[in-house]
Amino acid sequence: MMDRHSLETTLVVLVGLAITTLLASRHLTAGPATSAAVLGIAVLKGRRILLDFLGLRTAPALWRGLVTAWVTGVASLAWAASAARLLI
């Protein structure tokens, strides 16, 4: 079970990652690498939310893996669709 200090740490990490996302999208040249960075940060944020806020850290690995797979799968599909434009 998360204690209040761990929840505070999670919030600070999430806010830091959200700000990093915005800065990366504004200051890096648009392209597959920037998209991968922005979506990779979204996966990290999603993972912190599902482990620490949603409480899946102590749940069976199956559920943790399933929700992590959803976050990673959606982000990967979005990146692949964005990068595929370069091949068309």
By the rule CB under 8 A, 33 interacts with other proteins: no
CA 44, CA 31: separation in Å to the nearest integer? 20
Spatial CA neighbour of 32 closest among 87, 88, 82: 82
Q: Which of residues 36-75 bind other proteins (CB under 8 A)?
A: 38-39, 41-42, 45-46, 49-50, 52-56, 59-60, 62-63, 66-67, 70-71, 73-75
CA distances from 31 to 1, 41, 42 (A): 40, 16, 17
Q: Which residues contact 77 (CB under 8 A, 6 or more apart)?
A: none
Residues 6+ positions from 36 with CB-CB distance below 8 Å: 79
x-or-dash string of contact with other proteins, 11-30, rule CB under 8 A: x--xx--x--xx--x----x
Binding footprint of other proteins on the chain (CB under 8 A):
1-4, 7-8, 10-11, 14-15, 18, 21-22, 25, 30-31, 34-35, 38-39, 41-42, 45-46, 49-50, 52-56, 59-60, 62-63, 66-67, 70-71, 73-75, 77-82, 84-85, 88
